[in-house]
Chain A
């Protein structure tokens, strides 16, 4: 530029400034990802730097929505202890505070259930949204909201809570938005009771892990009914049921559905012969493996204090921020401490001055699929359960996709439920979802937990648990009076034997209503003085009703044996139980492997592996290499044992028998034809496949160990806690966690114990707690992930209920006042 042409320079600068403004105002695309608008994002006062603040919560507030002042005391872990004078103000404040710490999580979880993630995240989540829209989460939530409106106490709780959340959102300026919104260049949206229902529905859907109908149908088509029944029995004889054996059950009408009547009714011959064996269903999602939970209550005779102990560790997808938010709530007659799902008022798992309670999933199969075959060329008519044909109805869903065009999805509705998946090879077929939660929407989830929050006695506990109308949960309970109880709480369909195990067709026998709550299995103060649930089978064979599900087979044996073997349990012993990495599966299988393996011709490396397994204590310790050897060997053994179940486009998704069945067969029938390797001409036995799988495993293990010095179980298992947007920078990976699927400390990838709680119900009720995360949902806050290391290493935090007068003078708490 020449010095004597200022006009020219001005024009060039004007163009540069305009370009710079344009760039800063919009952002750029780097590696296929859009950056947020750079101007605001890099402005230290309104961009990401501002979110590095750790004391955003630390101020007294005027909240016009309150009716009376509320005191909030934060402890050193950022757990709020809220003291209000009414339930309304309590839930209002709870909503405000949870939103303050977890607003983005509220949004993302409710959007996931509603099918509106793509509005925020773009094309990445279109398929998830499509599936959720077809299921109809939004309409279900609206129904639940209407039911709440008809119930004053529940509605007051959810409405006050929503008002509190919105009070926080309303006073937020863009510069104070959570970092995720800034990264996405988006804004939070209004909260409502409907969105609370969506958060609860998201959990209900997560817990539907007994969803193997498609695999079961394909597998049965492949191997036949007899083989299927042989390889996939519903329960193992070693299982210790949730409700102790020989508990008397209440039963009024068992005429229809006694399991022993199965043969007489001839229901095994269901009309499924015409079903395509390979429904290659587009978008079909399987439930993550490893989800499960433990809870137990031990009565005085087995504890060191003579008073009950209660423990609970629900195993769920581990996220940052954590799926739980810990709080202590006080108002009127309520004093309760525990955790709740952000977005839902009250305490879900916790304790009060009198009682404690915990939850595990039952795993009953409450989600069935109907194969819908259209009867006309236009695919508009289908056959109903009564054999007539009728027209489908349609619902048009508009999926708004950020940065792209809105997608219209036509949801086809049948009398069996919405068609969620279609066969991509043949559009004349579809699968209609017959889900308990869709058929029988229940709004009592809030009342159940608010009832538990105030429970003082067994009567209160049973009263609250009777209200639970969702897919069944094992609710465990204990109180200071010395009582313990466990009830299978929730709606149980009156199933016909084997009904819903496979994909159904119109006209197939179907469940006849639901059991009255009084007939749900339960146990109060059993003679054995303890009760446990680990997602195992609910009852022994004496329960008069037939039910089915996906039940676990190892943790129940372990916890029952540990409790029986401990004369006087205390809190420290309970911690050992929750952190236990002993694998009953390994203890069952390793002796068989070592006995049957053919040692001739083994390599030096393989012999070394055998030596390590010989000395192993069956504990999946994070720094041990023996668990890696075992896991690889078991993996290779499964491949050879179940080579008949190779998935091909023709077979579709298949099931393979569970590990306990494989161990039983190896022990009881080593010459079983199932152990024959299909590809060879000779007939193999158990010993042959055990040896062959050791060779394969030794190659794998050698490769793994050679890749990394000190390679151990933690490297293999890769335990992690992941941010909702799957951003590694906001997640924690490669955690040195001990345990595997099937150990009490069940950990697999990013699924594991999401909250550990041990409540001591002696003179002063208190608990030891920890979860893999932190109270703050803001990655810039030190409390974002400050408990992850404690959780990994099995360190707990002791909590007690604090009297309002006592906490006032305790300088370990930060006191805030919220005034109307």
Chain B
């Protein structure tokens, strides 16, 4: 994975967890858009998939953190929403987080492209 994408992934997870923990749900969208804008990914479509994974990981980590105790609320909520089991609910949660990060991250990245043009290839990328 190119370094920028790796940075985008890690930033999304770390800042995402902080924003979700201390703010409200849409702070995460802003964080994703800002990361997409600042990372200057050469291929915004690659960034989309990276952010998708990062957002999914962020939500999954959060979900797992609160599922760690002795309560069984995720199973009950899964039953209410006819999702079968807690792991399926966690998957749906991850998809929500992933799409949130991917869409807003890609938006940030394309906004950057529109404002500043496509970034030049790095030496490594050029050789590759």
User: Which A positions have Cβ atoms within 8 angstroms of B?
Assistant: 6-7, 9-10, 13-14, 16-17, 20-21, 24-25, 30, 35, 38-40, 42-55, 179, 183, 727-730, 778-782
Contact = CB atoms under 8 A, between A and B. Distances in A.
Interface stretch (B6-14, B109-117, B119-127): B109-117
A43 B77 contact: no
A781 B76 CA distance: 12
B66 A49 contact: yes
Given A10-B114, A43-B20, A49 B62 contact: yes
A40 B24 CA distance: 7
Instruction: List the 10 closest A-B pairs by CB distance, nearest first.
Output: A44-B62, A780-B73, A729-B79, A49-B66, A780-B71, A39-B25, A43-B25, A729-B76, A52-B73, A52-B71
A180 to B, nearest CB: 11
Nearest to A49: B66
B99 interface: yes
Given A38-B96, A46-B25, A54 B103 contact: no
Interface in B17-69: 20-21, 24-26, 28-29, 44, 59, 61-63, 65-67, 69
Given A13-B110, A38-B96, A52 B25 contact: no
A20 B29 CA distance: 10
Contacts of B114: 6-7, 10
Nearest to A30: B81
A20 B61 CA distance: 22
A40 B25 contact: yes
Nearest to A182: B77
Interface in B91-105: 92-93, 96-97, 99-100, 103-104
A9 B106 CA distance: 9
B71 A44 contact: no
Contacts of B71: 51-54, 780-782
Interface size class of B (residues with CB under 8 A): 35 or more
Given A16-B103, A24-B25, A44 B73 contact: no
Contact of A48 (B24, B73, B99): B73
A45 B100 contact: no
Contacts, number: 117
Contacts of B79: 728-729
A50 B103 CA distance: 25
Contacts of B104: 17
18 contacts: A6-B114, A9-B44, A13-B107, A14-B107, A40-B24, A43-B59, A43-B62, A44-B62, A44-B65, A44-B66, A44-B93, A49-B65, A49-B74, A52-B67, A52-B71, A54-B70, A55-B69, A780-B71
B72 A42 contact: no
Nearest to B75: A729
Contacts of A16: 103
B73 to A, nearest CB: 3
Given A25-B26, A49-B62, 4 more contacts: A16-B103, A39-B25, A39-B26, A42-B25
B64 to A, nearest CB: 8
B20 A780 contact: no
B1 interface: no
A233 B15 CA distance: 76
B128 interface: no
B21 A45 contact: yes
A30 B70 CA distance: 30
A21 B26 contact: yes
A52 B66 contact: yes
Nearest to A784: B71
B72 A44 contact: no
A7 B29 CA distance: 21
A50 B74 CA distance: 10
A51 B61 CA distance: 16
Contacts of A55: 69
A13 B104 CA distance: 8
Contacts of B28: 43
Given A21-B29, A46-B25, A779 B20 contact: no
A14 B103 CA distance: 9
